[in-house]
Amino acid sequence: MKNKLLQKRALVTGGSGFIGSHLCEELLARGFKVTVVDNLATSAKSNLSAIIKNKNFKFYKGSVLDVKLMRRLIRSCDIVYHMAAAVGVKYILDNPLGSILTNIKGTEIIFELADKYHKKVVLASTSEVYGKHACEPFKEEDDRILGPVNKSRWSYAEAKAMDEFLALAYLKERKLPVVIVRFFNTVGPRQTGRYGMVLPGFILKAIQNKPITVYGDGAQMRSFTFVKDAVDAVVELSLNAQAEGQVFNVGGAANISIKDLAYKVKERAGSSSQIIFVPYAEAYKGNAEDFEDMVCRIPDVNKLQKMIGFKPEFSIDEIIDRTIDYFRKVKKCDLGGCLR
């Protein structure tokens, strides 16, 4: 049964980020008034260029760690989509302390204020929480298998898992309505390769006919989700009362190895790029002791399908083609990412 209240005032933390900006567009299209707070540390305000002048949209440059600001924004909304997080393997390895504080302390502030003002929260989590599983589809209730604490690469998975524990504790003890979504490699226009995101990194190299770098042997399996599919699922879950108190994998049907992805990007871009394989120790030079990869990240989305009838609209070829088109249209590109 759909939630009859249909909240109309949304606060999106991290709303100028890749997923957040697409989410804002979808919410506005559904009649919401949308407010964004973002510190622009790993995002760009230009991601909001299509909606920045919309009369139902407001933007605040600020941090989720700013309690005074967050109190004002949460008090005046109906639902919080908590998308703000330090993301990207490279960024996490380069900024371990700041990443942990943002991902844990920021979420603590969100839930404390949401509880005080009785606001529903949709928490963005990640497939990283599953850790080093065997290569089979992950179910929401599966055990987690993580690496040692001296590998700071796992701090992101641990921080997001603690965010989930916090959300469910508020649900249990305070009856706060929460929904948790675990994203699996969401990709598409506006995603940058600057912080280690694989698809935009491959595409940027391919359209410049420069070598496409694959880390390790490229046998790592991933499931890629087009951003429109992902945000549609998030909004549907947020408006469904039966989804409250539950965790959902949000992923696509596009399962592919990183090596095959590199060759497919090269083919669809019509590129002359050479594909080269680089050992992790070289790829993460200076941080190699902190890095450990996940062999497989593939979701079981049966629960999501049963709840909202989710079915990914975009194939891997469509995902790649649309993302290539985007990067070819932006005005200025460099090897780390594209800026408008």
Nearest to 160 by CA among 188, 127, 204, 206: 127
Residue 12: DSSP 8-state: E
Residue with tokens 């606001």: 119
Return the ∠ at Cα 296 (arms to 295 and 300), rounded to 5°: 165
Amino acid found at 19: I
Residue with tokens 């969401």: 186
Give the up-direction half-sphere exposure of residue 226: CA atoms within 13 A in the CB hemisphere.
18
Return the ∠ at Cα 277 (arms to 319 and 288), rounded to 5°: 100
Q: What is the rounded radius of gyration, in angstroms, for the C-alpha atoms of the chain?
A: 19
Q: Which of 156, 195, 215, 284 is catalytic?
A: 156
Question: Catalytic site residue 130?
Answer: no
Show the DSSP H helices in the chain as ranges.
18-29, 67-75, 89-94, 96-100, 106-117, 155-174, 198-207, 227-238, 258-269, 280-283, 302-308, 316-329
Sign of CA dihedral 141, 228, 102, 63: negative
* Separation between Cα atoms, residue 114 and residue 168, nearest integer Å: 13
Residue 281 CA from chain centroid, whole number: 26
The catalytic site residues sit at 156
